């Protein structure tokens, strides 16, 4: 029997990494997650196989790990759930793919961090820069409750659609034909102005269930993005994407049935990370990735979606960290905003709780902005203790280096 005592002693368990694990930081996270789940192990010479040599909780490891394909010859839950994928990207399984948000977390890494942070079912994790909702989906799948905060209504919408549609899938599916009819009648495929969307907007207004309305609003934004970014026919895009989205939500239900999930509760709020609407010491862990200094203009990047939602871009820029201000003032404002955000993270985290921050340096006018050092210095100044600093270096085309660090602190 696996991991049990035999007359010769304990029979070791073999754990094999998933094929897509290729980087040193992934190996580091794989080791840390096994350790956090109570396993003692040795990494074999080939580096892709581990031998677990203690009587660990085999079932819990099989259910939770992110980087392993098999443990003791049995396929892990994570590997099984990543098979529910409607896209060509290995990371974009289940509902992760919905909306092409720039700067998404790697979901596998978030699952490993949830393990490394020792978060159990019913614990609460906070992501105070939730973005496209990666932490919310991964926490939900592990039965961990998640509070997701973002200043951007587009991020709030994405995160809600990815985690809440499962509870309204019957109504969503029943309305598909009506949605396609009103969408097709709404536009001329030259411009998707507010005037031209009247028919579809009337359809949206007729939906009483917010989860259903959010789903179909998201389907519209995904199609607008397909048209703006890739020049695709907007109606065809809507038909294709709404079908794919329904398929992915149904996959969620199938995966939950196959793997007997107990979903965590998800609470997504539009709020400001500098002033969190949460009580002191109210969350068990934090996993987040703030803007990397002024590296990316989140408002300009999704301008078409904000316009379609009826927002004033200039007004939105005033509250968005890393985007506020002009010229070198932007860096100064970023620093002030992040100091407030770190204070808030420290305030709401329970004593002894762990906090993972994924952050990279940026470049401004040819000069490196040392956001990683800034983050470490300020978090330590608040009383956080840095436990791990895991460097992720990826070389892309033309030797372009992309680097960010995962910092794990303890309060």
Residues forming the site for ligand SAM (CB under 6 A): 101, 103-105, 129, 131-132, 134, 149-152, 155, 272-274, 289-291, 298, 319-321
CB 293 within 8 A of CB 369: yes
Nearer to ligand SAM, 267 or 319 (CB): 319
> 26-47 in b/e burial notation, b at 16+ Cβ within 10 A?
bbbbbbbbbebbebebebeeee
Nearer to ligand SAM, 65 or 109 (CB): 109
Structure tokens at 313: 């871009």
- Provide, rounded to whole angstroms, the least separation between the CB of residue 276 and ligand SAM: 9
CB contact set of 367 (below 8 Å; sequence gap of 6+): none
- Provide, rounded to whole angstroms, the least separation between the CB of residue 242 and ligand SAM: 22
Nearer to ligand SAM, 58 or 292 (CB): 292
Whole-number CA gyration radius for the chain: 22
Structure tokens at 270: 């539009």
Nearer to ligand SAM, 149 or 249 (CB): 149
- Provide, rounded to whole angstroms, the least separation between the CB of residue 358 and ligand SAM: 7
Structure tokens at 245: 């989205």
Structure tokens at 259: 């793997």
Structure tokens at 269: 């709020």
Helix (H/G/I), strand (E/B), else coil: 71: strand
Spatial separation of the C-alpha atoms in residues 382 and 72, rounded to whole Å: 43
Structure tokens at 402: 């992309």
- Provide, rounded to whole angstroms, the least separation between the CB of residue 69 and ligand SAM: 24
Nearer to ligand SAM, 26 or 272 (CB): 272
Nearer to ligand SAM, 212 or 408 (CB): 408
Nearer to ligand SAM, 62 or 151 (CB): 151
Spatial separation of the C-alpha atoms in residues 238 and 227, rounded to whole Å: 10
- Provide, rounded to whole angstroms, the least separation between the CB of residue 299 and ligand SAM: 8
- Provide, rounded to whole angstroms, the least separation between the CB of residue 310 and ligand SAM: 18
- Provide, rounded to whole angstroms, the least separation between the CB of residue 63 and ligand SAM: 23
Nearer to ligand SAM, 69 or 104 (CB): 104
On the 0-12 / 13-18 / 19+ scale of CB atoms within 10 A, 281 is middle
Nearer to ligand SAM, 3 or 322 (CB): 322
- Provide, rounded to whole angstroms, the least separation between the CB of residue 106 and ligand SAM: 8
Nearer to ligand SAM, 3 or 285 (CB): 285
- Provide, rounded to whole angstroms, the least separation between the CB of residue 159 and ligand SAM: 9
Spatial separation of the C-alpha atoms in residues 153 and 151, rounded to whole Å: 7
With CB atoms as reference, the residue minimizing the distance to ligand SAM is 131
Count CA within 13 A, CB hemisphere, residue 42: 4
Spatial separation of the C-alpha atoms in residues 95 and 114, rounded to whole Å: 19
- Provide, rounded to whole angstroms, the least separation between the CB of residue 198 and ligand SAM: 29
Q: How many CB atoms lie within 10 A of CB 69?
A: 20
CB contact set of 198 (below 8 Å; sequence gap of 6+): 186
CB 50 within 8 A of CB 34: yes
Nearest to 222 by CA among 243, 206, 203, 201: 243
């Amino acid at each position: 029997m696996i991991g049990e005592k035999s007359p010769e002693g304990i029979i070791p368990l073999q754990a094999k990494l998933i094929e897509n694990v290729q980087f040193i930081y992934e190996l580091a996270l794989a080791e840390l997650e096994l350790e956090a789940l109570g396993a003692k192990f040795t990494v074999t010479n080939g580096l892709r196989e581990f031998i677990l040599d203690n009587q660990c909780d085999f079932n819990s490891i099989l259910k939770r790990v992110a980087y392993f394909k098999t443990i003791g010859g049995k396929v892990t839950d994570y590997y099984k759930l990543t098979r529910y994928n409607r896209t060509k990207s290995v990371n974009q399984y289940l509902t992760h793919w919905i909306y092409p948000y720039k700067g998404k977390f790697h979901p596998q890494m978030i699952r490993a961090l949830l393990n490394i942070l020792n978060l159990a079912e019913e614990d609460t994790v906070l992501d105070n820069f939730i973005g496209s909702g990666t932490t919310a989906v991964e926490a939900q799948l592990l039965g961990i409750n998640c509070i997701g905060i973002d200043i951007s209504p587009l991020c709030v919408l994405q995160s809600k659609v990815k985690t809440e549609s499962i509870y309204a899938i019957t109504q969503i599916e029943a309305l598909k034909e009506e949605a396609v009819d009103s969408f097709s009648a709404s536009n001329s495929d030259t411009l998707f102005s507010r005037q031209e969307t009247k028919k579809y907007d009337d359809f949206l207004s007729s939906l009483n269930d917010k989860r259903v309305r959010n789903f179909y609003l998201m389907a519209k934004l995904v199609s607008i993005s397909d048209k703006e970014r890739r020049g695709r026919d907007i109606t065809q895009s809507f038909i294709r994407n709404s079908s794919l989205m329904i398929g992915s939500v149904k996959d969620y239900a199938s995966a939950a049935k196959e793997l007997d999930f107990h979903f965590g509760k998800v609470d997504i709020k539009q709020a400001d990370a500098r002033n969190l609407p949460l009580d002191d010491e109210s969350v068990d862990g934090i996993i987040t990735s703030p803007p990397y200094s002024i590296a990316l203009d989140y408002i300009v990047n999704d301008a078409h979606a904000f316009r379609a939602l009826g927002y004033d871009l200039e007004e939105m820029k005033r509250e968005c960290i890393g985007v506020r201000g002009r010229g070198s003032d932007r860096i100064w404002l970023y620093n002030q905003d992040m100091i407030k955000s770190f204070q808030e993270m420290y305030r709401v985290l329970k004593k002894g709780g762990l906090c993972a921050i994924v952050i990279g340096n940026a470049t401004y006018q040819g000069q490196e902005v040392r956001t990683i050092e800034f983050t470490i210095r300020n978090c330590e100044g608040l009383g956080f203790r840095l436990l791990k600093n895991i460097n992720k270096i990826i070389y892309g085309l033309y030797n372009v280096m992309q680097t960010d660090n995962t910092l794990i602190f303890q309060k």
